[in-house]
Amino acid sequence: MRRHQKDNAGSARGITRRGLLLGGAQVAIAAVLAGRMRYMQVEQADQYRTLAEENRIDLELIAPARGQIFDRNGVIVAQNEPSYRIVMVREEAGDLELVLRRLSALVTLNPEELAEAREEMEKRRGDTRVTIADRVSWKDIAKVAANAPALPGVFPEVGLSRHYPMGPDFAHTVGYVGPVSDYDLSRMEDPDPLMMLPRFQIGKVGLEAKYEDPLRGKAGVRRVEKNAANRVVRELGRQEGVPGVDVQITVDAELQNYMHARLTGESAAAVVIDCDSGDLLGIASAPTYDPNLFVRGISVADYKALTDNEYRPLASKTVQGLYPPGSTFKMVTAMAALEAGIVGAEDTVYCPGHLEISGRRFHCWKRAGHGHVNLETSLRESCDVYYYDLALKVGIENISAMAERLGVGVRHDVPMSAVARGRAPTKAYKQEVFGSEWVIGDTVNASIGQGLVQASPLHLAVMTARLATGRAIEPRLVKNVDAVEAPSGAGAPLGVNENHLRMVRKAMYAVSNSGRGTGFRSRIVAEGMRMAGKTGTSQVRNITAAERARGVTRNADLPWNRRDHALFVNFAPYDNPKVAVAVVVEHGGGGSTAAAPIARDITLQALYGEDPPLTAYPERDRGRIRAQQARLKKLRQDIRIGSKGRA
């Protein structure tokens, strides 16, 4: 049936409209495609040319600058310095041995460093950059860059490395950094990606380790274009990281340098505390070592020399070393008895040279005895029997409680490695740790700082500062972080009777300034600078009855490691305490002969801020001190020059 002409016309109009719509859509799509093609071919031509040439865009971490460390006067003790190194990516090298041979022909490679690099490349992913040569010269860097086509997978780099300009002076305090090890990574739940950078350095010990996070900073990122050979063509952009914060410590670099020089030749430790703030002005352990040796990995020979040394240079004796405090602990026993109300200043005890307790004879160091002694004379002449008698009356619990109040048997919050708690023993402690009952002999031994009592030089310095001030001084090592001042260590009042403290201080003054005092030979004679102190000698071996009968063997006749430890504690000036000092000389013999002279010299250096005038010393000592000052001045310079020479 034929359609009506009118219907055909309407149909044609509909088809025309649809055609126009379809054509318009096609034109629009074509326009969009054309615009997109123009955008891709003209405006993004460089990017797609890069892709066409098999280049790629990578993101690389930028290591932040590590925060620096300064002494209390702004002297830098840990800094960063530029370091050139050569790194290799194993999977990009192809024939690894061939590339290494070519590299060896251009630059000198350390066999130990190369062996370490091979081992690291085996452990790590193939795309990890591993350091082949560190601290190379700019000339070597230029050689590698010029021969890049023949050295696939080898890249020259420049970065920052840690340096300690004071060398050994701050080794035990500030510590050191070193490359991240597998052991370090195993201790981290979620390692910072920075840890994967070649030879990235983190704090290993000391303040560097304790303040690792703020010192490290935050990584930056750069966007780079690389070609098919994985060479960087250009940098497309970067976002700088956040540098680590700077830390200022309380230690005085000049005093620290003097203390190390003064302790040279000894296995010893010394601590100086500011009595106003608790600041650690000096904290030296001897012998020491150069932390710069550890920054890039110490050699086997150097490390063996340190570990084989019987004086243990790697140990921080100031906070890790625990010693029987000997007679320096007698102030604790005296304060416990005074606070308990069982003794007065004039109460006397007769010392015949020993005290019989439960069928056992406890000896005084003076075989003939001291006769009748009171609190002052007992401390002045260091009578043991007086304190044996006090201990029987006051009991170990009161003695231990007073020890903790004075800072012994407490782990002080100092950001150094392995800070020891020490030991102020109680009956419960012995039962728990040793599984045995407390006996009266334990109390007697503890009263003179022997037996189970143990303290570090830091404990003894804190104890002395608290006795000098009557406040709960807390040692402070960090002065500020990122210019924000750390809390003071001045402390609140101890809550003990001030009259009792005066009695003990007066007795300590007699130790150093009375002709019969055990520390008299090492006194300070300058007016306004006189010190109050206490000698101590702690046994490290048992003396048998047979040996006592024939005469106790002199320390000088014993092997070094069987001699007594020598100790001395003091504060000065007596009338207005500014510093408290503790010195321990391992196996040094007598405290009066080995430790007291060192403590006196360090105290004067801290008070004057420089070599003190000879008039501060007894007249008979001045010739010897003049020669000593000249010798120490040269030694101090040698220490500093040596550290700069190793940079």
Strand partners for 274: 579
DSSP classification of residue 496: S
Number of residues that make up the chain:
647
Burial 499-516 (b: 16+ CB within 10 A, else e): ebbebbbbbbbbbbbbee
**Other residues' Cβ atoms within 10 Å of the Cβ of residue 640:** 17
Nearest Cα to 460, choosing from 316, 574, 337, 584? 584
Q: How far apart are CA 157 and CA 84, in angstroms?
A: 6
Q: Could you confirm whether 327 is annotated as catalytic?
A: yes
Task: Give me the catalytic one of 327, 447, 522, 538.
Answer: 327
Instruction: Report how far Cα 613 is from the mean position of its chain's Cα atoms.
Output: 33
**Other residues' Cβ atoms within 10 Å of the Cβ of residue 521:** 15
Q: Which two tokens stand for residue 620?
A: 């008979």
Question: Using an 8 Å Cβ cutoff, are 280 and 319 in contact?
Answer: no
Q: How far apart are CA 30 and CA 292, in angstroms?
A: 69
Strand partners for 270: 284, 583
Q: How far apart are CA 406 and CA 459, in angstroms?
A: 9
Cis? peptide before 573, omega within 30° of 0:
yes
Backbone angles phi, psi at 484, to 5 degrees: -95, 115
Residue 308, burial from CB neighbour count under 10 angstroms (0-12, 13-18, 19+)? exposed
Backbone angles phi, psi at 506, to 5 degrees: -60, -40
Question: Using an 8 Å Cβ cutoff, are 555 and 563 in contact?
Answer: yes
Q: List residues with catalytic annotation.
A: 327
